[in-house]
A and B are shown apart, each in its own frame.
Chain A
Amino acid sequence: MAAPESQNLATPSALRNAFGSVLSVLILVLIGVLAFSIRLFSVIKYESVIHEFDPYFNYRVTQFLSKNGIYEFWNWFDDRTWYPLGRVIGGTVYPGLTLTAGTIWWVVNSLNIPLSVETVCVFTAPVFSAFASWATYLLTKEVKGSGAGLAAAALLAMVPSYISRSVAGSYDNEAVAIFALIFTFYLYIKTLNTGSLFYATLNALAYFYMVCSWGGYTFIINLIPMHVLMCIVTGRYSPRLYIAYAPFVVLGTLLAALVPVVGFNAVLTSEHFASFLVFIIIHVVALVYYIKGNLSPKMFKVAVTLVVSIGLVVCFIVVAVLVALVASSPTKGWSGRSLSLLDPTYASKYIPIIASVSEHQPPTWPSYFMDINVLAFLVPAGIVACFSPLSDASSFVILYIVMSVYFSGVMVRLMLVFAPAACIMSGIALSQAFDVFTGSIKYQLGGSSKSKDDAEDNTSTNNAPKDDASTGKTDKVEEIAKERSSKKGKKKEREPAEKPSIRSKIAKKKALVLPLEASIVALLLLIMLGAFYVIHCVWAAAEAYSAPSIVLTSQNRDGLHVFDDFRESYAWLSHNTDVDDKVASWWDYGYQTTAMANRTVIVDNNTWNNTHIATVGTAMSSPEKAAWEIFNSLDVKYVLVVFGGLIGYPSDDINKFLWMVRIGGGEFSHIKEADYLRDGQYRIDSEATPTMLNCLMYKLSYYRFVETDGKGYDRVRRTEIGKKNFKLTHFDEVFTSHHWMVRIYKLKPQKNRIRGRVKKLKSKTSSGSFTKTEKKNPWI
């Protein structure tokens, strides 16, 4: 921290700085503990399990990695999913998360600490949240000093938006990616402040880690060039900027291309072109500055015209090439998601599948209050603070928050990228406010002696409840002074300049005071605001974001009910079926089935093959016989449906059924959505259409349902079902879980009378109907 300065300052202040350093390390450790422990609600309230859907896939990949090693993992072709196609896992995943958890597991085990892979996976996200808050400290410290850094770190440790993606058990890419994002930004700013090639290299490596972890790396590769361009345009070009940017682009792009899932996209898609364009521009600008430094002003004017014109020609050629490249690709080189960021109405117009995902909806104002809470109030103050004075680092943070707040306004999912920026800004604002208010109080209470002023600086760090905000405020101001001339090699120049600056600062501070009582009130209000934030975050972590969705609970008059049907049925599958049996279900449950039951599935959550999904959708929407034929042709032995009608679990297959019809109908035209709707309404009661009442999904969901209460009352749809007593002809019920949430059916074996049946068909010579049914099945 402030160690280098302390050597040259007088002893009391050296002691103070040393004390400050120790204290801030202590605070940082506590922040880490806070970040880790606030995410443990899911383990305490439920148990140590992996959550939801995608994390199960990541967990399974990690298991494979820890069992078979890195090379096997890299070349892994998975035949237990997307049967009969399979999936190349090694080349289609972002490996960062898996490799991280695998490494942690390996290290821990080689230290003879016997943790299971699952435990490591469950706690990866909380551990990395602690890392992320430390990275936030580093980043904010580079911008506005360690006081702001500590405040920002504390805020980030419990910001609800980030908690939602990183509770214990939420083993997903974002868990490590947010840390990587912040750390990359920190290293960029560090390079910018120091001009050190060492940090520039580290920056490229951090970027590589980010590319490995999450598709959101495109945010970095666009934000940093934008900042560089902004610096150039506003006349802030410096050799440090060049060192921060040029190695980053070259190394970063080369490293990014190493990740199989990115590969040549790193140079071929439009998301990356901004960085290359800026790369050219910065070279032109660097050349101009170099020539300017070497020539007399007069000669420079001549040279400038020369260089500018040549540079422009080169630029235009390159731009033309880029434009041609972009124009030659169908989507103009932009992926649909990126386009919907630039033109928010794009997705709703052209890509309904992107627009339909709830994560991609634009947020309303309560989302901001839920996800960043009171930080929304503090951010503007932080922005203003960053403008006074404006440095390279603070301009970067401003750009970061402006871009991310805009993107979060388009897609609620990107709130996750916005949250760190909001924490940094709020940390800066809080720190500045505490600085001013405590300073005013101190000055008026403690008289005007300089020594007292110094001593109180220390005491204030101890007493305030939000002490982390005010701890390093002395460092902070020094830091700002430092930033102006901060270059690693210029330490000597800086030191003499420092003493007068501190003195003038103290003199200035005396002039800059606010009324005592008003300051106290303001301080109290700020502390109240912080307390409210803490309450909200703890509540959000405990109530809103901790449900693992694999185990459900409900609280009613009789007490707590636990619904553990999913694991019950996956366990049934793994114990009662053959290892090579194929299980068909809607894609939502694909990852879980492969990971928990270890059975081959037809489709899973990696929705890469629409036709395959449509085939399953078609089978689910077909009558029993046709469905049996489709499933049989896919070697399916068991069909799994999720049914919530008995206990009122709303996200069951009947509620998702229209999507199956739509997706199925998109590929196989004999499935028509209108056949399943009565006057445009989706219903399953006696008014439902015959197609609906005869389709496989209806039958598998409601088979024997009437036996439960005698009426067949569906508690999700709040109605009695339309067709109550029916028998299954082609399927056998083999398992129904405790609360009927999961029902598993086995395909009946083909009948022995098959030969007779064929004969009968032949004699009928009604080949038309026969081929028709065959045609419906795309797998024959």
Chain B
Amino acid sequence: MAINKKLLSLLFLLAAVLSSSAIAASFSDSDSDSDLINELVSLRSSSESGVIRLDDHGISKFLTSASTPRPYSMLVFFDATQLHSKSELRLQELRREFGIVSASFLANNNGSAGTKLFFTEIEFSKCQSSFQLFGVNALPHIRLVSPTIKNLRDESGQMDQSDFSRLAESMAEFVEQRTKLTVGPIQRPPLLSKGQISILISLIVIATPFVIKRILKGETLLHDRRLWLSGAIFIYFFSVAGTMHNIIRKMPMFLQDRNDPNKLVFFYQGSGMQLGAEGFAVGFLYTVVGLLLAFVTNVLVRVKNLNAQRLVMLLALFVSFWAVKKVVYLDNWKTGYGIHPYWPSSWR
């Protein structure tokens, strides 16, 4: 029994020592944690829109060597200056939006919630090893490193293409979903600063009397009918070509053929969608027939030379006929409708 008791007390002792050391460890942990947070906050306050620019050293300090669970999440934007020229990656635009999310987060979270998430960026040329650490080899890449993540190669925090498709709004949604923090309403900087606006207004005020004077005299560009005419025709062309569709849906001008990469596809079959070049081509066909007709009835009539008239007119007729035929053919091909007349049944 005695031995048993001794053993038991020894066990208790051991447990007490262990637990106290654990507590001490956690104390020291929280100390270093608050140090880290303070450092991050000070870094953040000195950086533009609250996005901290980290290097290899910073990554190791705040992420790899900080013990998990870290008291903060970190959203890392992977940037590469040398790829800024490639517009299809949209790196600069995304970086700007990233800054907006960060600034909005800062503006909307003043208290303790503000220290739970930090927005950082790392640049490829300066910290290649960090890129390797994260296992990032394609951009654009935005990664949320949540407090518990040990292995930075863990890609669970990666922001999908769909998450930054709607720019700052969807990024904020992603952050809110993953971190349970609220980013709050996105605060975009106004298009023009206040100084610019006041300058603009004063310019307008000064210019108005002169403009009104010109208008009263009737000698502005606005009085040029040709300008109005070309404007009207252009808007017509622009709309019937379905350009708004291309802009809203961000359609490319043409696609690459899947079977044969050297071949380009300009026309898309199926009426719900169209490609850019396709729209412009048909819009041009739509417009050119009317313009030729207008040319014949308004301009060609005044030409004195009969043969010139004849030649131009036949050419115009031929082009118009071809354009209409082409559009009818394309439409039938694209939509698959079989438009047919109805004859009396006795004629069959």
Q: Can you sample 22 A-B contacts with CB below 8 Å?
A: A305-B209, A312-B205, A350-B169, A362-B249, A363-B242, A364-B242, A365-B242, A366-B271, A366-B334, A374-B324, A380-B287, A381-B293, A384-B290, A402-B232, A402-B235, A406-B238, A429-B293, A512-B302, A514-B309, A522-B317, A535-B341, A539-B341
The answer to the question of A388 belonging to the interface, with a C-beta cut-off of 8 Å to chain B, is yes
Q: Are B240 and A376 in contact (CB under 8 A)?
A: yes
Docked CA distance A305–B341 (Å): 67
Q: Look across to chain A and name the residue whose beta carbon is closest to the beta carbon of B308.
A: A515
- A312 and B210 CA atoms in complex are apart in Å by 12
Given contacts A348-B248, A381-B293, A409-B244, contact A401 B278 (CB under 8 A): no
Q: Interface readout for A731-771 with B: 1 if CB under 8 Å, 0 if not?
A: 00000000000000000000000000000000000000000
| In the complex, residue of chain B having the shortest beta-carbon distance to the beta carbon of A540 | B339
A308 at the interface (CB under 8 A from B): yes
Tell me which of B205, B222, B313 contacts A234 (CB under 8 A).
B222
A499 to B44 Cα, complex, angstroms:
85
CA distance A515 to B316 in the complex (A): 13
A542 in contact with B298 (CB, 8 Å): no
User: Contacts A345-B247, A365-B278, A512-B302 known; A522 to B286 CB distance under 8 Å?
Assistant: no
CA distance A65 to B30 in the complex (A): 75
Report A-chain residues with C-beta under 8 Å of the C-beta of B335: 366, 370
1/0 per residue, CB under 8 A from A, across B201-223: the answer is 00001001100100110100011
- In the complex, are the beta carbons of A344 and B244 less than 8 A apart? yes
Q: For residue A511, which residue of chain B has the nearest CB?
A: B302
Q: Is the CB of A382 within 8 A of B271?
A: no
Contact B225 A390 (CB under 8 A): yes
Task: Specify which chain A residues have a CB less than 8 angstroms from the CB of B233 in the assembled complex.
Answer: 380, 383-384
A34 within 8 A of B: no
Cβ of A634 under 8 Å from chain B: no
Contact status A525-B321, CB under 8 Å: yes
Q: Does B331 contact A (CB under 8 A)?
A: yes
Given contacts A233-B222, A349-B166, A377-B286, contact A406 B248 (CB under 8 A): no
Judge whether A401 and B236 touch: CB under 8 Å. Answer: yes
Q: In residues 50-86 of chain B, which contact A (Cβ within 8 Å)?
A: none
Residues of chain A contacted by B151 (CB below 8 angstroms): none
Contact indicator B208/A538 (Cβ below 8 Å): no
What are the 10 tightest A-B residue pairs by CB atom distance, in nearest-first order? Answer: A380-B290, A409-B239, A384-B294, A362-B245, A377-B289, A381-B293, A364-B274, A409-B244, A381-B290, A381-B294
B309–A518 contact, CB under 8 A? yes
Cα separation A308 to B208 with both chains bound (whole Å): 10
- Asked, given contacts A308-B209, A377-B289, A410-B244, whether A365 binds B283 with beta carbons under 8 Å apart, the answer is yes
Question: How many residues of B are counted as interface, with CB atoms below 8 angstroms from the partner's CB atoms?
Answer: 71
Check: B310 CB closer than 8 A to any chain A CB: yes
CA–CA, A232 and B216, complex, Å: 9
List residues of chain A with CB within 8 A of the CB of B286.
365, 368, 376-377, 380
In the complex, the chain B residue whose C-beta lies closest to that of A312 is B208
Task: Tell me the bound Cα distance from A363 to B278 in angstroms.
Answer: 14
Q: Find out whether the CB atom of A405 lies under 8 angstroms from the CB atom of B283.
A: no
Instruction: Select from chain B the residue with minimum beta-carbon distance to A389.
Output: B225
Do the beta carbons of B271 and A362 come within 8 Å of each other? no
- Whole-angstrom CA separation of A362 from B248 in the bound complex: 8
| Contact across chains for A514 and B293 when beta carbons are under 8 A apart | no
Q: Given known contacts A235-B223, A367-B271, A521-B317, is B242 in contact with A433 (CB within 8 Å)?
A: no
**CB-contact partner of B240 in A308, A368, A382, A525, under 8 A:** A368
- Give the chain B neighbours of A380 by CB distance below 8 A: 233, 236, 286-287, 289-291, 293-294
Q: Does A513 sit at the interface, judged by CB under 8 A?
A: yes
Instruction: Specify which chain B residues have a CB less than 8 angstroms from the CB of A383 in the assembled complex.
Output: 229, 232-233, 236, 290, 294
Residue among A234, A348, A377, A429 with max Cβ neighbours from chain B (10 Å): A377
Say if the beta carbon of A536 comes within 8 Å of chain B. Answer: yes
User: Which residue of B has the minimal Cβ distance to A512?
Assistant: B301
C-alpha spacing A304/B273, complex, angstroms: 56
Q: Is the CB of A235 within 8 A of B296?
A: no
Q: Which among A288, A379, A387, A518 is the interface contact of B314 at CB below 8 angstroms?
A: A518
Determine how close the nearest CB of chain A comes to the CB of B212; give it in whole angstroms: 6
**A433-B341 CB under 8 A given contacts A379-B236, A390-B225:** no
Give the CA-CA distance A537 to B248 in the complex, in Å: 30
Q: What is the number of contacts between chain A and chain B, taking CB atoms within 8 Å?
A: 198
Known contacts A398-B232, A409-B239, A525-B321: A364-B293 contact under CB 8 Å = no
From B233, B290, B301, B323, name the one whose CB has the most chain A CB atoms within 10 angstroms: B290
Question: CB-defined interface of A293-310 with B at 8 Å, one 1/0 digit per residue?
Answer: 000000000001100110
Question: Which of A384, A405, A535 lies in contact with B339, CB distance below 8 A?
Answer: A535
A348 to B251: give the CA distance in the assembly, Å. 14
Q: Closest CB-CB distance, B108 to chain A, in whole Å? A: 18
Question: How many angstroms between the C-alpha atoms of A304 and B289 in the bound complex?
Answer: 48
The chain B residues found within 8 Å of chain A, CB to CB, are 166, 169, 205, 208-209, 212, 215-216, 218, 222-223, 225, 228-229, 231-233, 235-236, 238-245, 247-249, 271-274, 278-279, 282-283, 286-287, 289-291, 293-294, 296-298, 300-302, 306, 309-310, 313-314, 317, 320-321, 323-324, 327-328, 331, 334-335, 337, 339-342
A233 to chain B, nearest CB (A): 5
The one of B208, B241, B339 that contacts A365, using a Cβ cutoff of 8 Å? B241
Instruction: Return B57 CB to nearest CB of chain A, in Å.
Output: 39
Q: Does A40 reach chain B (CB closer than 8 Å)?
A: no
Is B339 a contact partner of A536 (Cβ separation < 8 A)? yes
A200 located at the interface, meaning its Cβ lies under 8 Å from any Cβ of chain B in the complex: no
With a cutoff of 8 Å between Cβ atoms, the chain A residues found around residue B208 in the complex are 312
Indicate whether A378 reaches chain B with its CB closer than 8 angstroms.
yes
Cα of A387 to Cα of B287 in the assembled complex, Å: 16
Given A402-B232, A518-B309, decide whether A408 and B294 contact each other with a Cβ distance below 8 A: no
Chain B nearest CB: distance from A62 CB in Å? 33
Complex alpha-carbon distance, A517 and B309, angstroms:
11
Q: In the assembled complex, which residues on chain B have CB atoms less than 8 Å from the CB atom of A435?
A: 297
Chain A residues within an 8 Å CB radius of B222: 233-234
The CA of A432 and the CA of B295, in the complex, are separated in Å by: 12
A349 to B335, CA, bound (A): 29
Contact A364-B239, Cβ < 8 Å, known A308-B209, A349-B169, A539-B339: no
A369 within 8 A of B: yes
Whether B327 lies near A369 (C-beta < 8 A) is yes
User: Does A385 have its Cβ within 8 Å of any Cβ on chain B?
Assistant: yes
Quote the shortest CB–CB distance from B148 to chain A (angstroms): 22
Contact A409 B238 (CB under 8 A): yes
The verdict on A405 contacting B235 (CB below 8 Å), with A366-B334, A380-B294, A518-B313 known, is yes
The residue of chain A having its C-beta at the shortest distance from the C-beta of B331 within the complex is A369
Question: Which chain B residues border A544 with CB–CB below 8 Å?
Answer: 337
Contact partners of A377 in chain B: CB under 8 A: 286, 289-290, 293, 320, 323-324, 327
In the assembled complex, A527 has its CB within 8 A of some CB on chain B: no
Interface string of A335-374 (1 = CB under 8 A from B): 0000000001100111000000000011111111110001
Nearest neighbor of B334 in chain A, beta-carbon distance: A366
Which one, A309, A364, A401, A517, contacts B245 given CB within 8 A?
A: A364
**CB-based contact B301/A436 at 8 Å:** yes
